[in-house]
Structure 1
């Protein structure tokens, strides 16, 4: 039971933190893009947008810093065997992440308080550094997770790692696939959320030029990442098929080794009967996905010891949710770009605004589902093939108390963040002071966002 509570607390902390970390990575980029647009056009709406995004970044950065600090303590307190045994192997990316975090904090302060005190070029540079530092912070943390999925850079022994090479451990075989997949997911989730928020306002207030222009900043990043992510995901899946075949089999609830293996869409995995009921199968698609060969052999779960199976149903459902939401976002992005190039303007009809509103949360859903797929799919290992999760957990009992305490704290923080962000958006609605010192509703007619 204590192992369950330890995993639940770590999972809750990460699920909460990843949302704010993603926003802290992507909002500075959107902020800089707004600044660049303002410098190029002289439009006060983009200046207002960059100010709003900077305030949002500050709020999310503060909450992300708190939840990230909690996570650093939880790593040592809940998983002492992991950190005590392999701390020297994974310590370097943690140290570099700390450096990136402090760099981001310094330049965020300069950006927030130096707008009218330093030169415009230096102010823009500070924003660029916030964006780069946020991405670097996520990059280094993800390298640790890549190591846990595909360890390298040491020789395992019964007494711990020897011949440790921290750089080789940091850049193991999985680093490129996992870091690119994670970073693009962060930009995609934030851009889709921003597009959904401004689409909602435009459905209620079609005459708001500010929100139309804000949507024109979010849509290019949302469309680009939505179309890029499936390509990265395909490369990642091919790597998993080779490096973690049991995880790959769990993704598709694939029990029997077969050539020309089909992909299972949906379905209910039944571990006892080793079948997936009600699934729609696409012949040979799994072999193509894994090895680019319609007749390639794909190992099934039965090829591996039962005690090394991850939770099949959870992994399968999380993976299906990730792929389903990702596909939906890619289709919407493709349609949006088609209309953009056909009409020479970003589509702003009610149907497209409703589509973006409904798809706004999907980036976060896909990101959370992808993270669950990665973590559940690695079980029962905390370091794949080297250390089991049960062997890394703390021997301290009564872990239910901190779990419920942190659940309440995260709920309170979540409510406060939503309240503060809603106030930021509400300040740009008609009836409030709008961009350029006037009410956004005062524009004589809606303009098309180019």
Structure 2
């Protein structure tokens, strides 16, 4: 394994691991705050117990996310020193703002955990809101950097160097806002459905109970609304990609030839050597409508660039199909859940629905991981689109394969520990006295 492949593998593994905890750090504080608000509004002690349980889970995952995020920041400098030297002056602001958001989240999470009956109720609830907002802002600022790597703006290029840098223009690049919205909604979707699935499994295991019922209600509300809005966000992001990164769009759809009224492909396997995507269901003119909202819009194919500048078309296409497929299934599930609620029957009365919920609950994270692979692999071979190639940014440090192996082992150990801690925390059944007498929780 050469340095480039080892560095990309290590960075990809680190991102895939970290994004799970970052996602939950964005979503769980919102659900935790909703639970406390419901307790203060209704007096139902099940909501109080739920808020405290989710707060402890948030703390565990926040700590792991902080560790993995710190590792990523070091990896940027160690594995991609030329990228940081080249672009650091442009992308420094959103990274700095992400740091402020992170520390704000940490401070108010401490207040939330230890402030029960020590600060006024309104301030305690407000601290939860600030934790939730800070988590979202942290995700947005990091995603804005990724957006800049896809659509670099906010500078003049003079003799191969960035001059006259405008940090806010760079931060608010064309891809940044659509990507950030898409990422936040994906986080709410993934964590919402996963949390609902865990409580659904617990409910099937220990029978109907108020604690798991209210947990499923809040988690499905967050995840269900997010996945339905995600369709609008995905449309906006697709149009940006069509306009700014036509080769990425061509890779997503396995579109090898430039074509007017290009079809939208469902499934299929691209064969780059044959310049053809086989076994797909094709919807006539669908890609033109999808990318430009025009029936006969021109879609640039991969034939517009030399094959050496193509990403791995097969992997990008398959990952995109996985992401869209998982999102579509979750959207249908959210609509089915909404219909059941509209019939005014509790969701937990429908055993089949709860069983199905448990089965589909991981799909949000599957879609999230696949989506990031689409974003990152679809930009290749560029680390900064059409400005800097990935191979030109990698470190010259020897033995990157060794660090990749060590970090893989570290993440495996850390992952096992987190699963063990959370399993002990989640599976513990709420005691009756905790529901009836919430003061025992203080």
What is residue 263 of structure 1 aligned with on the other side? Answer: 264
SS in 2 for 1:117: coil
Structure 1 residues 82, 199: CA separation in 2 closer, same or farther (over 3 Å shift)?
A: same
> Aligned ranges for residues 340-359 of structure 1 at < 5 Å?
340-343=341-344, 345-346=346-347, 348-359=349-360
Q: Which residue of 2 is the match for residue 169 of structure 1? A: 170
Moved more, 147-156 or 202-211: 202-211
Compute the TM-score of the two structures, normalised by the length of structure 2: 0.97
Cα distance in 1 for partners of 2:270, 2:307 equals: 15
Q: Which residue of 1 aligns with 2:247?
A: 246
Q: CA deviation at 1:437?
A: 5.3
Per the alignment, residue 15 of structure 1 pairs with 16
Aligned length in residues? 437
Are 1:87 and 2:88 counterparts? yes
Structure 2: any 5+ residue segments left out of the alignment? none
* Deviation at residue 114 of structure 1 after TM alignment: 1.0
Question: Which is further off, 306-315 or 157-166?
Answer: 157-166
Distance 1:154 1:399, change over 3 A: same
User: 2:208·2:348 contact (CA, 8 Å) conserved in 1?
Assistant: no
TM superposition outliers: structure 1 runs of 4+ over 4 Å: none
Structure 1 residue 347 displacement after superposition: 5.4
User: For the Cα contact (< 8 Å) 2:255–2:302, is it kept in 1?
Assistant: yes
Match of residue 381 from structure 1: 382
Q: Distance in 2 between matches of 1:101 and 1:250?
A: 35
Q: How does 1:194-343 map to 2 (within 5 A)?
A: 194-343=195-344
Unaligned residue ranges in structure 1 (runs of 5+): 439-450
Give me the whole-angstrom Cα distance separating, in 2, the residues matched to 1:222 and 1:348: 20
> Shift in Å at residue 159 of structure 1?
3.8
Give the match for residue 435 of structure 1. Answer: 435
Partner of 1:46: 47
TM-superposition CA deviations, 1:69-95 (whole Å, max 9, x none): 000000011000111111110000000
CA distance in 1, matches of 2:268, 2:245: 22
CA contact (8 A) 2:202 2:427 kept: no
Q: Secondary structure of 1:266's partner?
A: strand
Distance 1:378 1:143 in 2: 15
Determine helix, strand or coil for the equivalent of 2:236: helix
Q: 1:265–1:279: 8 Å Cα contact kept in structure 2?
A: yes
> Following the alignment from structure 1 to structure 2, what is the Cα–Cα distance between the partners of residues 280 and 254?
13
Could you tell me how far 1:183 is from its partner in structure 2? 0.6
On the 8 A contact 1:148/1:383 being kept in 2, the answer is yes
Secondary structure of the structure 1 residue equivalent to 2:265: strand
- Conserved in 2, the CA contact under 8 Å of 1:336 and 1:347? no
Conserved in 1, the CA contact under 8 Å of 2:347 and 2:353?
Answer: no
Asked if structure 2 preserves the Cα contact closer than 8 Å seen for 1:428 and 1:434, the reply is no
Higher mean alpha-carbon deviation, 100-109 vs 339-348, is at 339-348
Distance 1:146 1:249 in 2: 19
Distance in 2 of aligned mates of 1:436 and 1:326: 39
Equivalent residue for 2:186? Answer: 185
Quote how far apart the aligned CAs of 1:436 are. 3.8
Could you state the TM-score of these two structures normalised by the residue count of structure 1?
0.95
Instruction: Give the distance between the partners of 2:254 and 2:288, measured in 1 at CA.
Output: 14
- What SS class does the counterpart of residue 267 from structure 1 fall into? strand
Q: Distance in 2 between matches of 1:436 and 1:419?
A: 29
Please report how far the alpha carbon of residue 433 of structure 1 lies from its aligned counterpart in structure 2 after TM superposition. 7.1
1:78 corresponds in structure 2 to 79
Q: Do the aligned residues in 1 keep the contact of 2:251 with 2:317 (CA within 8 Å)?
A: yes
